[in-house]
Structure 1
Amino acid sequence: MSSQLSHNKDQPRIRKSLSDSSPTSSTATTKSLRHERLSRLSSSGSSDVSNDTTTNHAESYFSRRENRLSARKKAEEESANNDYKKMYEKALATNQRLKSRLETSKQELVMIQEQLQRAQQKGRKGECGSNMLETEKKESWSLKKKISDMEEQVKVKADLKMENQRLKDENGALIRVITKLSK
């Protein structure tokens, strides 16, 4: 009787540990637990008929449990495979999206660089234009200065011509006076 009580006290613990065991536990552990349980059932001292039915029930229980565990393991592997497949597809879609964004960014960069080059060329033309304007202004100023100098020279020349003409007239008058005096 005490052996049955100890056996009954141990049984809930075993059940508890079996129910606590994860579905990913190895088959060897399950088989060793089953073997322990069968040995305990056989040593309980019950009759051969009840022992056979208990053994059959235990074996069927363990085989059903193993089947459930293997089915659960297969389902987890399949879901893991599906998860990996989903993760791969998601990563692939993300990569494609990022590649397209990168491509559009590269195109925008090329367009912006072209605009920058055009702006720099216009700036250079503007600088050249402003330099040309400055040189043209300087040339214009120097030409105006030359014109004003020439105008003054023309005035001086005109003055000199008038004075030369006056001197010629005086000279002619003097020559006439001298000729009159010398006769």
Structure 2
Amino acid sequence: MSSQLSHNKDQPRIRKSLSDSSPTSSTATTKSLRHERLSRLSSSGSSDVSNDTTTNHAESYFSRRENRLSARKKAEEESANNDYKKMYEKALATNQRLKSRLETSKQELVMIQEQLQRAQQQKGRKGECGSNMLETEKKESWSLKKKISDMEEQVKVKADLKMENQRLKDENGALIRVITKLSK
């Protein structure tokens, strides 16, 4: 019974020291804690049989703890690897998308350059025929200016006629009033 009491007294201290250690501590730290606990248990003065059972319990506890820690580390490494794999796949997809956009842009650039060359060639051809075109354009612009001036004159005459028409309507209305008063 005294061995169980001493065992119970030692256990909270060990748990506290285990909880103080970081979860990513190395196996060397856990082994040193195991040896520390074993030395405490052997110095407690208990019998050899209880020492063997507590040693077995302690060793099984620490081996289970080590297994859990190693499993946790493996899981973290796998998730990190998966993250890197996802990041790689995402970067690869982005690169493919950008490459396709670049190809499209290059094709558009080639098409625009061809159009520019065609336009420059046509402009050169117009320069050869330009003197004839200038003469015809001058004639057309002169005839258009003449038509515009004729139309402006017609608008002025039309405005004068409207004013004359309004004046005559007013006179006609006045004469009608005078006649109606005289006929009464």
Q: Which TM-score band applies after superposition, normalised by the shorter structure?
A: 0.5 to 0.7
CA separation of 1:131 and 1:43: change in aligned 2, threshold 3 A: farther
Residues 27-75 of structure 1: per-residue CA shift (max 9 Å, x gap): 1111111111211122222232222211111000001111111111222
Is the Cα contact below 8 Å between 1:41 and 1:51 reproduced in 2?
A: yes
> 1:121 — aligned with what?
122
- Tell me if structure 2 keeps the 8 A contact 1:42–1:51: yes
Question: CA 1:52–1:108 in structure 2 vs 1: closer, same or farther (change >3 Å)?
Answer: same
The question of whether the paired residues in 1 share the 8 Å contact of 2:38 and 2:55 is answered with yes
Structure number with greater Rg is 1
TM-score of the aligned structures, taking structure 1 as reference length: 0.59
Q: How large is the Cα RMSD of the aligned pairs? A: 19.2
Q: Which moved more, 1:161-170 or 1:96-105?
A: 161-170
C-alpha distance in 1 between matches for 2:65 and 2:175: 158
Give the structure 1 partner of residue 29 of structure 2: 29
Instruction: Report the identity percentage.
Output: 100
Residue-by-residue CA offset, 1:144-167 (whole Å, 9 max, x unaligned): 999999999999999999999999
Residues 25 and 148 of structure 1: is their aligned pair in 2 closer, same or farther, counting only changes over 3 Å?
closer
TM-score by length of 2: 0.58
The more displaced of 17-26 and 165-174 is: 165-174
Q: Distance in 2 between matches of 1:134 and 1:176?
A: 63
> Post-superposition shift, 1:96?
0.9
CA-CA distance at 1:172 after TM superposition:
82
- Rounded to whole Å, the distance in 2 between the matches of 1:23 and 1:179 is 121
Deviation sequence 1:11-36 (CA, Å, 0-9, x none) = 53542342343443211111111111
State the distance in 2 between where 1:73 and 1:178 align: 121
Aligned length, in residue pairs = 183
Once the two structures are TM-superposed, the CA of residue 135 in structure 1 deviates from its matched residue by: 10
Q: C-alpha displacement at 1:95, in angstroms?
A: 1.0
- Structure 2: tracts of 5 or more residues without a match: none
CA apart distance, 1:176 = 90
Gaps of 5+ in 1: none
Q: Return closer, same or farther for 1:45/1:138 CA change in 2, 3 Å cut-off.
A: same
Q: Secondary structure at the match of 2:22?
A: coil
